[in-house]
Amino acid sequence: MFHVSSKRMSLIAVAVVAVLALASLGIATMSPEAQAKAKDRPPRLPDFTVEITGAGSGSDVDSAWETASGGSLNIEIADASVGTDQTHTTTPGHKYVEELTLRGPLTAGRTATGKGSPNGGRGHLGVNEGSYEILENGAGKFKIDIQGAQTASANVESITIEDLVIDVREMTTGADWDYRVYGPGDAHYGSITIRSRVGKDSKELYQWWLDTSRGKNIRKQISVIALRRDGSEARSYNFLECFPTRYQPLVLDGTSRVSVEEVTAKCEGVDMKVDGNRQSMMDWITETVQGKEWKRNVTVTEITKDGSDGKTYTYIDAFPTRYVFPAFSSSGTGNLYEEVTMKPIRLELS
């Protein structure tokens, strides 16, 4: 989480809002034995949907997020003491909303599988979440293209990507007596670390580092693509203007005894493309970084056990402050996960 200075004011949280956890499993498609066991389980927290609306491109209703945390309403404690006071006195100050973080599996486009799922298509179904295909980790589930390094690209073992971070800039003025106002500041791109199996003639990554160390400004584009179960491309992260900062020539894997080389590259930007329901979220992050209209309303709606809508939390004039990329590994299992943190200005409950 980001911490913004409170100008020497103490902070107090008056309402902790919206900590939503893994959605409950429906029992409509279970066997009789499984249904009997499910009845003895403790009740789980409600499912929920997320809608991102406002300025920019389109809206995005998403039921595949697993957790939503943070987003509390807060009131500052301001010093109200004056020279004639015999005791220290305080008064309520500005209100502000804590950052909200969404975490969930990567999704692809809508799929027919899951339309008959529990809770009207909102239940967890393994590789399908409601009507969305969930993207998985592991060998053959992703690919990478390192410009000018075909051999290294074909032998990648794992990819680790540092978070994209956007500074929080306070914009409160004397006229803002109600809520504190914030806006996005500078964007910070991290590094990408790639591990690739080493062959006898594997010199592409070393040559890239060597050329850069000798003063050649050789920048490459690195594209990481998550694949659907049928092998088609579902999502891509295109890292721009990358140059190597570290090269590890030999990493011995104690399990498989496979020699692996590792390169870390600093990147100056990323172009994110999604074939699915979260494209508007990616557009939102990109437009915020580019200084375009960043204000969006993020609505989190609880889904009750009978499938109807419950409480609604509307985070107003929000902007993204952090995006956590998925970690790719050929030996990994399970779903690929992403995380986005946003800073709202106000919160309304209904």
Q: Render 176-203 in DSSP notation, one character per residue.
A: --SB--EEEEEEE--EEEEEEE--TT--
Average pLDDT, integer, range 322-345: 96
Q: Answer yes or no: is 76 within a domain.
A: yes
Report residue 34's pLDDT band, with 50, 70 and 90 as the boundaries: very low
Residue 275 pLDDT class (50, 70, 90 cuts): confident
Residue 2 has pLDDT above 70, yes or no: no
- HSE, side-chain direction, 13 A CA sphere, residue 18: 33
Distances (CA, A) of 35 to 119, 126, 289: 15, 17, 48
Burial (0-12, 13-18, 19+ Cβ within 10 Å), 243: middle
Q: Flag whether 161 is in a domain.
A: yes
Instruction: Please give the residue that has the higher pLDDT: either 336 or 25.
Output: 336
Residue 17 belongs to a domain: yes
Mean pLDDT of 231-236: 94
Cα 344 to chain centroid, rounded: 16
Tell me, yes or no, whether 2 lies in a domain.
no
Residue with tokens 């006071």: 85
Coil, strand, or helix at residue 244? Answer: strand
Report yes or no on 178 lying in a domain.
no
Q: Which of 61-65, 98-102, 168-172 has the highest mean pLDDT?
A: 98-102
Is 274 a domain residue?
yes
Answer whether residue 274 shows pLDDT above 70.
Answer: yes
How far apart are the C-alpha atoms of 170 and 23, rounded to whole Å? Answer: 35
Q: How far apart are CA 43 and CA 262, in angstroms?
A: 46
Which of 10-19, 36-45, 155-164, 245-254 ranks highest by mean pLDDT?
A: 155-164
Q: Out of 129-133, 154-158, 216-220, pick the least confident.
A: 129-133
Alpha carbon distances (Å) from 52 to 46, 298, 299, 334 = 20, 5, 6, 27
The string of pLDDT tens digits covering residues 235-269 is 999 999 999 999 998 766 555 566 889 999 999 99
174 in a structural domain: no
Q: Which residue range forms the structural domain that includes residue 154? A: 10-169+187-349
Total tally of structural domains belonging to the chain:
1
Residue 327 lies in a domain: yes
Q: What mean pLDDT is predicted for residues 54-59?
A: 61
Cα(6)–Cα(182) distance, integer angstroms? 12
Per-residue pLDDT tens for 142-154?
A: 999 999 999 999 9
Q: Quick one: tokens of 169?
A: 């800039």
